[in-house]
Amino acid sequence: MGDERRFGEFVAVRAHEEGTVAELVLDRPKAMNAVSSDMARSIAGACEALAGDRDVRVVVLTSSAERAFCVGADLKERNSFSDAELLRQRPVTRAAYTGVLELPMPTIAAVHGFALGGGFELALACDLIVADDSAVVGLPEVSVGVIPGGGGTQLLPRRVGAARAAELVFTARRVRAAEAGELGLVDQVVAAGADRDEALALAARIAVNSPVGLRASKKALRLGHGLDLRAGLEVEDAAWRSVAFSGDRAEGVAAFNEKRAPRWPGE
């Protein structure tokens, strides 16, 4: 991966930490990253490329817009759609959200300003959310006659519980950063303007670890969530078996005993 790769007009991928960290940039600042059909295709395309890049250990989702992480669906575009066009667009939009959700490596969202509707759902699709003091998050879809359609009704309860998620979805209210941190809507609240730097620093700390171990850990965490303990332990055992005889496991043990930094083969 080079220093930057463009996916259409509105999405970029930048390499950090010698390519082990990828920054997935939402880059439609004039529209506060409202997700149009073209932008949705670009997000999905970027995620497909990242998922297949074995050098990338962590992905950080960021925004180039000063006032917003992402304000959700492009309602100006939606207003021009016929019912048939809206139905045809659904798989396009859904592919963007599932693209982020299904990335096999750890993902971190760096949120500032507005992260509403689909914008907050993109953040919820990540494993961790770092938000700055300016962040305002929420799922206001019922206020415009729809429901969260980018995973919000499923991802939010997994973060904050069913009752809290119901209150937030039913009221459509916006939540400022401090309360969002208290409720667990975001994982870390940092000073204004520091969300990207903090998220990239966190990604760098994660990326020193085994890429095989990171991907297997994420798979176990995701697949085991919501299962009863016995079933969850079976998921964990399967993930353990997938890494126990890997090159990364052998290198990790050797590096520990030789008191040196590991040189992960990534397989």
Q: Which of 96, 123, 141, 181 is catalytic?
A: 141
Burial 72-110 (b: 16+ CB within 10 A, else e): bbbeebbeeeeeeeeeebeebbebbbbbbbebbbbbbbb
Q: How far apart are CA 110 and CA 72, in angstroms?
A: 15
Q: Which of 12, 44, 99, 121 is catalytic?
A: 121
To the query of whether residue 118 is one of the catalytic residues in this protein, the response is yes
To the query of whether residue 2 is one of the catalytic residues in this protein, the response is no
Tokens at residue 76, please? 């100006």
Q: Which of 72, 113, 118, 252 is catalytic?
A: 118
Q: How far apart are CA 64 and CA 175, in angstroms?
A: 22
The partner residues of 35 in beta bridges, in order of sequence, read 73
3-state secondary structure of 152: helix
CB 99 within 8 A of CB 48: yes
169 membership: H or E segment, kind and range: helix 162-171
For the chain, the first-to-last Cα distance in angstroms comes to 19
To the query of whether residue 234 is one of the catalytic residues in this protein, the response is no
- The catalytic residues are 73, 118, 121, 141
